[in-house]
């Protein structure tokens, strides 16, 4: 499962600005994580896939992605898009048992609920965007007693989402193969730095090799081993940016035990070698 690194683990909330123009070399693969993600589109458009739906998000639109739901966001053709992402750890939402049990748990643990999108022209979208701006400012300025106001803002935000959720038509439960796909992706997330073969991935989903390949093709539009390698490459990007470890050390820590193979895959995926990417300075490259 993709892990969000929160600056304050006891208060798992963060806001980040993403820019598709900076990510055009970065092939965003289907992924999931154990937190709730709320996206506000500032400019441009993106294509979002969540659950079994594919839809466009335009400037002003807002979208919530539920936790442990497979999703991806990618550029819409040649369009450039900037968007703000609020990540909220489920552990924080559980800290008030009354609120969680009555309102949040039925929504967050609804396996048929992958996402909610809000049209930018709606009042709800405007309120949510404003609340996220206020949360972002709090996290940057950290005024006295900011934690109290932060929790209050989160409750206001989830109140808007809850009102929409309870009035949305209920979708059918997620099909069994989607659960199997989730289990296999979680296995990859937990074991990507080990030697993994197709049999291992299939075993995690309790399916045959051929069924494993069919499920990945349906949901991830990619083979299981290519998914594994793309995930490993994305981890390597982070390590190349954030550590001084050698390319060889990074390759091994990502599960590539043959550095020349790692170099070839990296070059094919991003158009440059790992060393060239690091030397060029990632902030000026097209990978965020």
Q: How many domains does the chain have?
A: 2
Helix (H) or strand (E) holding 107: helix 105-108
Q: What does the pLDDT look like over 113-142, one tens digit per residue?
A: 989 999 999 999 999 999 999 999 999 999
Rounded (5°) CA angle 112-209-31: 40
Torsion-angle region of residue 77: left (phi > 0), alpha (psi -120 to 50) or beta?
left
Task: Locate 212 and state its tokens.
Answer: 């494993």
- Answer yes or no: do 42 and 162 share one domain: yes
Residue 257 CB neighbours (<10 A): 11
Structure tokens, 81: 């898009």
- State the chain's maximal CA–CA distance in angstroms: 57
* CATH code of the domain covering residue 73: 2.60.120.280
> Do 104 and 198 fall within a single domain?
no
Q: What is the pLDDT of residue 194?
A: 95
pLDDT surpasses 60 at 25? no
pTM for the full predicted model: 0.77
Name the domain boundary from 111, 134, 167: 167
Last residue of a domain, one of 144, 167, 190: 167
| Residue whose entry in the numeric block shows the structure tokens 């639109």 | 61
**Beta bridge pairs of residue 73:** 48
- Could you tell me if residue 286 is inside a domain? no
Which CATH number goes with the domain that contains 218?
A: 1.10.10.60
Domain boundary among 107, 132, 167: 167
pLDDT band at 6 (very low <50, low <70, confident <90, very high): confident
Torsion, Cα 237 184 220 84, to 10 degrees, reads: -50
Domain that residue 271 falls in: 177-280
pLDDT tens digit sequence for 137-148: 999 999 999 999
Rounded to whole angstroms, the Cα distance separating 202 from 225 reads 11
Q: Are strands 62-65 and 115-118 parallel, antiparallel or unpaired?
A: antiparallel
What pLDDT sits at residue 286? 38
- 52 and 159 co-located in one domain: yes
Q: What is the pLDDT of residue 15?
A: 93
Whether residues 148 and 216 share a domain: the answer is no
Cα–Cα dist 277/26, whole Å: 13
Q: What is the pLDDT of residues 66-108, one digit of tens each?
A: 988 888 888 776 567 889 999 999 999 999 999 999 999 999 9
β-bridge mates for residue 65, sequence order? 37, 115
Q: Which segment of 4-8, 37-41, 47-51, 257-261 scores lowest on mean pLDDT?
A: 4-8
One domain, residues 114 and 256: no
- Residue 5: per-residue pLDDT: 65
**Residue 37 sits in the same domain as residue 153:** yes
Tell whether 145 and 181 lie within a shared domain: no
Give the C-alpha separation, 88 to 276, whole Å: 35
């Amino acid at each position: 499962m993709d892990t969000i690194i929160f600056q304050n683990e006891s208060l798992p909330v963060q806001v980040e600005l993403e820019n598709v123009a900076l990510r055009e070399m970065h092939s965003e693969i289907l992924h999931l994580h154990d937190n709730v993600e709320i996206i506000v589109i500032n400019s441009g458009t993106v294509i979002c896939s969540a659950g079994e739906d594919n839809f466009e998000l335009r400037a002003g639109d807002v979208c919530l992605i539920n936790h442990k739901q497979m999703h991806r966001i990618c550029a819409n053709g040649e369009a450039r898009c900037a968007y703000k992402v609020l990540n909220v750890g489920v552990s924080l939402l559980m800290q008030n048992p009354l609120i969680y049990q009555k309102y949040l748990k039925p929504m967050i643990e609804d396996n048929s609920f992958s996402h909610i999108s809000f049209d930018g022209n709606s009042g709800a979208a405007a309120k949510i965007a404003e609340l996220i701006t206020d949360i972002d400012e709090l996290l940057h300025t950290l005024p006295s007693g900011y934690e109290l106001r932060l929790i209050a803002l989160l409750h206001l935000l989830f109140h808007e989402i809850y009102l929409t959720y309870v009035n949305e038509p209920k979708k059918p439960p997620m099909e069994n193969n989607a659960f199997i796909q989730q289990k296999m992706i979680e296995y990859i997330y937990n074991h990507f730095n080990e030697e993994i073969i197709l049999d291992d991935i299939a075993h995690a989903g309790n399916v045959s090799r051929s069924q494993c390949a069919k499920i990945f093709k349906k949901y991830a539009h990619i083979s299981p081993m290519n998914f594994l390698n793309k995930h490993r490459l994305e981890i390597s990007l982070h390590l190349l940016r954030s550590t001084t470890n050698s390319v060889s050390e990074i390759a091994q820590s990502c599960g590539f035990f043959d550095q020349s193979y790692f170099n070839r895959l990296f070059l094919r995926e991003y158009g440059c070698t790992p060393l060239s990417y690091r030397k060029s300075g990632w902030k000026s490259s097209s990978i965020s």
